[in-house]
Structure 1
């Protein structure tokens, strides 16, 4: 869940999570700070629409999503309650969460072969369209009993025509996925499922909004 403006986090933990969760294999003390963190990546969805015919002569620039401070990190965020943000010990994303999402957006749009160019930065002075987004939710929320979690992903995206800086489309994408357990691999699998649905919906919406399908 997004943290209400002005709310103070009880603790932004980098050492341990709640004592009643300490017995869980995935959620325990960080231990030795020198121990390398295990790195996880997410995958772009495979079943995406394909452009029939030649790509449109348009450049689409996917800007890095903006986000709140608690999500602007490569650590994997978990919320024991709505006002508490903590991180899984011993694991991280391959890059900060906004860059993880940006990478998936670029790969998904490029895989559709709908546009002549899709990238993070324009090839020349500017692109034809820019995707401007905000990553609102990207965390696992622990259930009331402390033995389950639900991953929540929410992103607001806007397509902006570079010439004239005109917003041509805007939409919020939301997905949730239950984790099979609180183990690291199960939590990451739920992140992969929820993020995949958001990226898939985003891709179809972008192609439709720009007349590519």
Structure 2
């Protein structure tokens, strides 16, 4: 075997690896369809009070705190819908919806992601425990589960004022991305619509 043939044989695996890497990069660069949830419509909650509320970004596991739309085919398995994503990572998206809905309630002097001064009057902390669809063998659609555990903290003395979990379940009639997103929208609307008056009532 001459030197040229030996060199070619050595380079073939490297060339194959390079082609695989290029293929993976091309797949990763394919654009994904982007979805976002609507801001829930909430009832105005009485007279405006001069209270500043800071809504912290919800804390969630690594599987939930991403831009992808999660579907669990089994309790211990996490997959994501192909070709689609949320407009923002899920915790950021939920924080935005909470800030907007609390602002529209009209009962608080200021609502934001950060305090206007050194600190606000209250902070709304939350943990995201469910934000996924669940499908099983032989099931045509998916069950959408959304659950947030809220804690309201009085900033001046770091006291937990109240703690409560809010959850909602909605059924998607198919595993089509649009149908699943619409079910997520309904479930998230229910959770936030229930949470907003509770938050307002505990930030006095």
The structural deviation recorded for 1:64 is: 0.3
Q: Which has the higher helix share?
A: 2
| Aligned partner of 1:36 among 26, 31, 37 | 31
Residue 150 of structure 1 corresponds to 143
Contact 1:77/1:138, CA 8 A, preserved across alignment: yes
Residue 195 of structure 1 corresponds to 188
SS of equivalent to 1:44: coil
Partner Cα separation in structure 2 for residue 181 and residue 117 of structure 1: 41
Instruction: Tell me the TM-score normalised to structure 2 length.
Output: 0.85
Contact 2:128/2:147, CA 8 A, preserved across alignment: yes
Partner Cα separation in structure 2 for residue 76 and residue 51 of structure 1: 33
| Aligned partner of 1:108 among 101, 105, 129 | 101
* 1:1-213 aligned within 5 A: 32-46=27-41, 48-53=42-47, 55-211=48-204
Structure 1 or 2, whichever has the larger Rg, is: 2
Length, aligned pairs only:
179
Contact 1:143/1:150, CA 8 A, preserved across alignment: no
Structure 1 stretches of 4+ moved >6 Å: none
Partner Cα separation in structure 1 for residue 67 and residue 135 of structure 2: 20
Partner Cα separation in structure 1 for residue 97 and residue 193 of structure 2: 10
Partner Cα separation in structure 1 for residue 87 and residue 180 of structure 2: 15
Structure 1 stretches lacking a partner, 5+ long: 1-30
Contact 2:71/2:80, CA 8 A, preserved across alignment: yes
Partner Cα separation in structure 1 for residue 179 and residue 55 of structure 2: 29
